[in-house]
Chains A and B, each alone.
Chain A
Amino acid sequence: QVQLVESGGGVVQPGRSLRLSCAASRFTFSDYGLHWVRQAPGQGLEWVAAISYDGREKFYADSVKGRFTISRDNSENTLYLQMNSLRLEDTALYYCAKGHIVGATRAYFESWGHGSLVTVST
């Protein structure tokens, strides 16, 4: 069964940076597009960023474009999200998710981690 384990969350002041990691196992990591999806407390789901299986294509939601960077290390089976210039509204549980089909970046989210909580607060 696919395993995705997020880490790196915490409490940070507005304007500061944080990097999330997602360690993946039990599937061929380099075959699948990967995503970050977030959920603010008591709110719905928001897609944040996507990266293609080979790391060449990256897509971002308008709300994070220019501030967040998604990347991956296929040799280490790890996905990252570098978050800069954090805002209060970035407070959320950040999920790592695996795409549902080999090779596709714009995909459905077939497997999810348990999430890493990011709190932006003064």
Chain B
Amino acid sequence: EVMLTQSPDTLSLSPGERGTLSCRASQSVSRYLAWYQQKPGQAPRLLIYDASNRATGVPARFSGSGSGTDFTLTISRLEPEDFAVYYCQQRHISLSFGGGTKVEIK
């Protein structure tokens, strides 16, 4: 089983700031990694797939990078609607999620 470890647990930022979220895999998942955004009371939303491809309708301020075991989701300038919980997920070996990073307003 591939374990995904996300850091930090919570990221406190102000609107307009840059957010950098990390996801580390216990073994290589190549580039088979996605990022999701979840707001309270809503289902998750796919943001990024295959490490760096934005899903349909996702704003350009969201970008993903990485391969192997280390991945990053970057939000270039936080908008008020970006404060949420973010999860990474791999599909290289079975399927698994990371524990999530909460991006909160500072």
Contact = CB atoms under 8 A, between A and B. Distances in A.
A113 B42 CA distance: 9
B27 to A, nearest CB: 15
Nearest to B35: A108
Contacts of B55: 110
A12 interface: no
Given A44-B100, A46-B97, A59-B94, A109 B1 contact: no
B95 A47 contact: yes
Give the interface residue-count category, chain B.
Answer: 20 to 34
A109 B95 CA distance: 11
Contacts of B1: 62
Given A45-B87, A109-B44, A115-B43, A100 B49 contact: yes
13 contacts: A44-B87, A44-B97, A44-B98, A47-B89, A47-B96, A47-B97, A50-B95, A100-B46, A108-B34, A109-B36, A109-B44, A110-B55, A112-B44
Across the A-B interface, give the 3 residue pairs with the lowest CB-CB distance, nearest first.
Answer: A112-B43, A108-B34, A47-B95
